[in-house]
Amino acid sequence: MNTMVQSAIQTSNEMQRQLIARAGEDADFRAQLMADPKGTVKQEFGIDVPDYINIQVHESDWNVLHLGLPPGPEAEMELDEERLEAIAAGLSCCA
């Protein structure tokens, strides 16, 4: 895995940890994150999420656990400048 992708994964994971931690402590923030994930990322990190990236927030409960998997190896694609910038910003580990 190349260094840029590794760095993007780490950045994305850290952003997710921060969002999850705050949502666990602040009910209003949790509701905001669920209603407007892109707006919340913009507010918290100053990052405009590109239109081609969709953020879905799922609430787990005691009976359901959501597990997000990155695209598999068969999902390779060419990376244009916009997608490379998104990866560098930590918005997407896999474009």
Per-residue pLDDT tens over the stretch 17-39: 999 999 999 999 999 999 999 99
* SS3 state at 29: helix
> Which residue type occupies 67?
L
Q: Which helix (H) or strand (E) holds 48?
A: none
Q: What is the pLDDT of residues 57-95, one digit of tens each?
A: 998 889 998 887 877 777 666 666 776 676 666 665 444
Q: Would you mind telling me the total number of residues written for the chain in this entry?
A: 95
Closest CA to 34 of 58, 13, 51: 58
pTM over 0.75: no
Give dist(CA 32, CA 43) in Å, integer: 11
